[in-house]
Amino acid sequence: MSDNQKKFQQILDINLEFAQAKDVDLLLEKILSVTRKLANADAGVIYLVDQERLRFHHYQQGMPKEQRGFAKNKIYNGTSRTIAPDPISVHVAKTGMIVNIPRVTDISDDAPYTVNADIYQDLPFPPQAIVAFPLLNDHGTVLGVVQVLNPRDEARNIMPPSEDDIPLIQLFANNAANAIERAQATRARVLGIIQILTALRDTEETVSHVNRVGAYAAEIYETWARKKGLAQDAIVSQKDLLRMAAMLHDLGKLAIPNVIRRKPGRLSTEEYDTMKEHTIKGAQLLMKYAHSEIENIAAQIALTHHERWDGSGYPGYIDPNTGKAMLGYEDEHGCARGKRAEEIPVFGRAVAIADVYDSLTNHRVFREAWKEEDVLKKLRDGAGSHFDPEMIEAFFASLDTIHAIAEHYKDHERLGFSEQQAD
């Protein structure tokens, strides 16, 4: 098999991975990682087209073959830098053409682009060669731009793609762009479910909140799963599903009366019992609207993210269809007993931590945000009683990434409502 045939087969295999992606952020991380690996490049950056402007998404650096520390180049990385679109990437976005620059110093004066040295001045290495290509979908629309710096051969000599590689780059880019389009549609569908159901209700849920909880839970799960030695392929696919499904964790609150949901101060016992029903109502709503694996997993999360490791959570062993205790799982009062320890689904355990952390670190209608140190103490103290202790360790091991996610998804947009209605 020739070198080009091997590369072609690699791209076909990668396309199958792209086709299974649900979350656009994780997909973009994968696209940039794979691009850098194929190019053996020192660094790379990926941009998305947003209303005819290029928007930075994330940046990676370091030798691809040495990426054993998986958090080093993750999309939410507190140490990562923002790379502003330079004239090269802007040119690629406008023209839809690949730009392959073997030597930056050899760019002619009449070229339609220049290299803005100021953009790269803080990098640990100067860009000597640059390859930038458009992410073109089947309709010829540019969805984004990928740019790699200093592509190299196996001997680590700088070696830009040859002319024979260009069709392969185009094939790769087209597959990636179509996958991005599908993933964007999936996220829009998940947010659309929330927006449709919130259209007639006042809610404090924000796009940023549901994105944070989904991203937190996915990071906690990945760290936990790696520590447990789960297979890499399984981790990636499960993290992808969790990232989207967790965004729907509190959908059932829309079925709770406004007077309870937005009551300042502490709820009465009766009001709290009503509020707890959001877990069952959320599962019921999601089961009703289930059209994919995402909604099915989201229903499980909605039902179980308030269970506690010691069995004192809620709603316990409830049949979501009837709202009654499952036969054989009643306590001495005939109520459903709580699920405990590993009886609680893994995703429910991860979202439990993500939801508490985000709820306490952000302002709510009934209270002010807590100090970070107090939130972390509550989580640590809750290990083994409220929370899965191994999941809590995974949370703390992921804390830098958690902080980066919080920065990435600051509150700014309320689901279905105007800016002045936000918290």
Other Cβ atoms less than 10 A from the Cβ of 234: the count is 10
pLDDT band at 416 (very low <50, low <70, confident <90, very high): very low
pLDDT band at 124 (very low <50, low <70, confident <90, very high): confident
Q: Of the spans 13-22, 125-134, 160-169, 309-318, which averages the highest pLDDT?
A: 309-318
Which domains are delineated in the chain?
A: 3-182 (3.30.450.40), 200-421 (1.10.3210.10)
Percent of the chain with pLDDT over 70: 88
Question: Is the pLDDT reported for residue 126 higher than 50?
Answer: yes
Q: Which amino acid, one-letter code, is at 333?
A: H
Q: pLDDT for 54-104, tens place per residue?
A: 998 888 887 544 443 333 445 665 445 567 788 999 999 999 999 999 999
Region 20-47: mean pLDDT is 91
Contact 24, 247 (CB under 8 A): no
Closest by Cα among 13, 16, 5 to 178: 16
Question: Is the pLDDT reported for residue 348 higher than 70?
Answer: yes
pLDDT band at 412 (very low <50, low <70, confident <90, very high): low
What Rg do the C-alpha atoms of the chain give, in angstroms?
Answer: 24
In the prediction, which pLDDT does 421 show? 24
In the prediction, which pLDDT does 199 show? 60
Q: What would you measure as the largest C-alpha separation in the chain, in angstroms?
A: 84
pLDDT band at 197 (very low <50, low <70, confident <90, very high): low
E-only strand ranges, 33-192: 43-50, 53-61, 99-101, 130-136, 142-149
Lowest mean pLDDT among 319-328, 338-347, 405-414: 405-414
Contacts of 239 (CB under 8 A, 6+ apart): 26, 218, 221, 222, 225
Percent of the chain with pLDDT over 90: 58
CA 38/CA 277 separation, integer angstroms: 50
Region 347-360: mean pLDDT is 97
Of 240 and 291, the one with more pLDDT: 240
Question: Is the pLDDT reported for residue 301 higher than 90?
Answer: yes
Region 3-15: mean pLDDT is 74
In the prediction, which pLDDT does 198 show? 65
pLDDT band at 145 (very low <50, low <70, confident <90, very high): very high
- What is the pLDDT of the chain when averaged over all its residues? 86
> Dihedral angle at the C-alpha atoms of 285, 347, 401, 71, nearest 10 degrees?
-130
Question: Is the pLDDT reported for residue 414 higher than 60?
Answer: no
Contacts of 63 (CB under 8 A, 6+ apart): 40, 42
pLDDT band at 14 (very low <50, low <70, confident <90, very high): confident
Region 335-341: mean pLDDT is 96
Question: Is the pLDDT reported for residue 247 higher than 90?
Answer: yes
- CA dist 275 → 28, 219, 261, 269, 366 (Å): 38, 28, 7, 10, 14
pTM for the whole structure:
0.83
What is the residue-wise DSSP string for 5-70?
HHHHHHHHHHHHHHHT---HHHHHHHHHHHHHHHHT-SEEEEEEEETTEEEEEEEEES-GGGTTST
In the prediction, which pLDDT does 193 show? 80
Burial of 224 (0-12, 13-18, 19+ CB in 10 A): buried
CA 309 to chain centre: 26
Question: Is the pLDDT reported for residue 163 higher than 90?
Answer: no
Q: pLDDT for 305-335, tens place per residue?
A: 999 999 999 999 999 999 999 999 998 888 9
Contacts of 108 (CB under 8 A, 6+ apart): none
Q: Which amino acid, one-letter code, is at 61?
A: Q
Question: Is the pLDDT reported for residue 415 higher than 70?
Answer: no
Contact 174, 166 (CB under 8 A): no
Question: Is the pLDDT reported for residue 172 higher than 50?
Answer: yes
In the prediction, which pLDDT does 92 show? 95
In the prediction, which pLDDT does 258 show? 83
E-only strand ranges, 102-163: 130-136, 142-149
The pair of three-digit structure tokens given for residue 275, joined into one six-digit string: 């509020």
CA 200/CA 29 separation, integer angstroms: 36
